[in-house]
């Protein structure tokens, strides 16, 4: 059974590297990359790029959450946890759950519906414009006239919203854990 003990310097470094990798990746993907990309490429190219990057992103988050949780659990056995350590352990677990939901359910579901929407848009000559704001009237007209597209749009909005919510929760969990680690650098 693991006991609460002083982790080695290598363990501390690995722990901080994985935690900072996760936080940096989440900050970049959530707040920078998508906003830059959507303004630089066509709508359909943006969707295609996101469909390829998001699975890798979500699985990297899952992996780093598993690693962080396991490493933290080894050095903080349940029997010896104080209140703050229990919260930190719960945050690691919540980050893992939200990344798992995105990797296994919300991400693939949103991508599948996005490709269905894309086919309808292609039939109408839409999707080759740069930026999400262009041709708003044409998209509104398509949504109004085509019940199948309207259904896809609604379903995509639901999956995308749930995925974004999970991503935000995971980012908050990672941020709090990173702050906690920074404030307690002598341990992990």
Residues 6+ apart with CB under 8 A from 139: 121, 126
Tokens of 5: 């003990």
Give the start-to-end residue ranges of the domains of the chain: 9-183
Mean pLDDT of 18-42: 95
Mean pLDDT of 160-167: 98
Q: What per-residue confidence (pLDDT) applies to 1?
A: 36
Mean pLDDT of 91-110: 97
Q: What per-residue confidence (pLDDT) applies to 17?
A: 94
pLDDT over 70 for what percent of the chain? 96
Nearest to 51, CA basis, from 102, 111, 106: 111
Q: How confident is the model at residue 5 (pLDDT cuts 50, 70, 90)?
A: low
**pLDDT per residue over 43-77, tens digit each?**
999 999 999 999 999 999 999 999 999 988 888 77
> How many Å from the N-terminal Cα to the C-terminal Cα in the chain?
18
Higher pLDDT: 131 or 119? It is 119
Nearest to 163, CA basis, from 91, 112, 87, 119: 112
Q: What is the mean pLDDT of the chain?
A: 91
Q: How far is Cα 95 from Cα 76, in angstroms, rounded to an integer?
A: 18
Q: Residue 4 above 70 pLDDT?
A: no
- Angstrom CA distances, 64 to 20, 58, 60, 93, 99, stand at 10, 10, 6, 11, 10
Mean pLDDT of 81-87: 87
Count the neighbouring beta carbons within 10 Å of the beta carbon of residue 71.
19
Strands (E), 58-155: none
At residue 50, the 3 state secondary structure works out as helix
């Amino acid at each position: 059974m693991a006991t609460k003990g002083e982790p080695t310097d290598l363990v501390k470094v690995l722990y901080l590297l994985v935690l900072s990798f996760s936080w940096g990746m989440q900050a970049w993907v959530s707040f920078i990359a998508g906003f830059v990309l959507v303004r630089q490429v066509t709508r359909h190219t943006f969707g295609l790029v996101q469909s390829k990057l998001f699975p890798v992103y979500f699985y990297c988050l899952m992996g780093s959450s598993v690693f962080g949780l396991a490493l933290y659990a080894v050095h903080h056995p349940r029997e010896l946890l104080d209140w703050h350590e229990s919260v930190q352990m719960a945050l690691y677990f919540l980050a893992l759950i939200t990344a798992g939901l995105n990797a296994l359910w919300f991400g693939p579901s949103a991508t599948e519906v996005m490709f269905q929407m894309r086919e309808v848009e292609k039939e109408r000559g839409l999707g080759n414009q740069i930026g999400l704001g262009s041709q708003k009237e044409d998209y509104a007209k398509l949504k109004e006239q085509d019940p199948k597209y309207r259904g896809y749009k609604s379903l995509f909005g639901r999956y995308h919203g749930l995925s974004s919510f999970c991503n935000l929760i995971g980012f908050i969990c990672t941020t709090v854990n990173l702050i906690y680690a920074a404030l307690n650098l002598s341990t992990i």
